[in-house]
Amino acid sequence: MKTSVKIGVVLLAVIACSATNGMGQGRRVMVGDSQGWRAGTNYTNWAIQNSPFYINDSHVFKYPPPGKLNASPMSVYLMPDLWSFTTCDFKTAKLVGNPTEGSGEGLVVQLNRPQPYYFASADGNGYDCIAGLTKFVATPMN
Ligand SMILES: *[C@@H]1O[C@H](CO)[C@@H](O)[C@H](O)[C@H]1NC(C)=O
Ligand SMILES: *[C@@H]1O[C@H](CO)[C@@H](O)[C@H](O)[C@H]1NC(C)=O
């Protein structure tokens, strides 16, 4: 039963994706799949497994608002370059998703330029970022 439900969900996702293709809209890519955007998680693996990404794909970040279940507020930052991404220097980073924007349908970021997008969360005062977690690079192709 469970397996057939999963297959059904995958088929629906494939149909939904192909329906949006050819309209310049790109795909909707759920960051972290069903796990969403979480603290203390290695998203480099996820990014490798889900590459390539394409221009106009939308990355959807789902995370619960701050509360009992989520002691460390989650956020989504775009780091300006590889250096700030690597060193977790958030001073000139752009906040694209505040701690409340990941609930419901999630935070949507469209990758509309052929450049690396350096995503990171500042949760735990950047502790995860420094540990190499809850961050990834996506470079969309044409
Ligand atoms: C991306 O979207 C923009 C605006 O909708 C469109 O002009 C452009 O052709 C699209 N690019 C691709 C590669 O689909
Ligand atoms: C995350 O996964 C990547 C790819 O497997 C690996 O190279 C990297 O060392 C991992 N990082 C951490 C902090 O575990």
All domains in the chain, ordered by first residue: 25-138 (2.60.40.420)
DSSP reduced 3-state for 55:
coil
- Residue 16 — pLDDT band, cuts 50, 70, 90? very low
CB-based pocket (< 6 A), ligand 2:
42, 44-45, 131-133
State the amino acid at position 104 in one-letter form: G
Segment 25-73, tens digit of pLDDT: 789 999 999 999 999 999 999 999 999 999 999 999 999 988 866 668 8
Taking the model in full, what pTM does it have? 0.83
**What distance lies between CA 142 and its chain's CA centroid?**
19
Q: Whose CA is nearest to atom 11 of ligand 1?
A: 24
Q: How far is the CA of 45 from the centre of ligand 1 (A)?
A: 28
Burial of 5 from C-beta contacts in 10 A (0-12 / 13-18 / 19+):
exposed
Give the ligand 1 atom nearest the CA of 54: 13
Q: Is residue 98 in contact with ligand 1, taking CB distance under 6 Å?
A: no
Q: How far is the CA of 56 from the centre of ligand 1 (A)?
A: 6
Give the ligand 1 atom nearest the CA of 56: 1
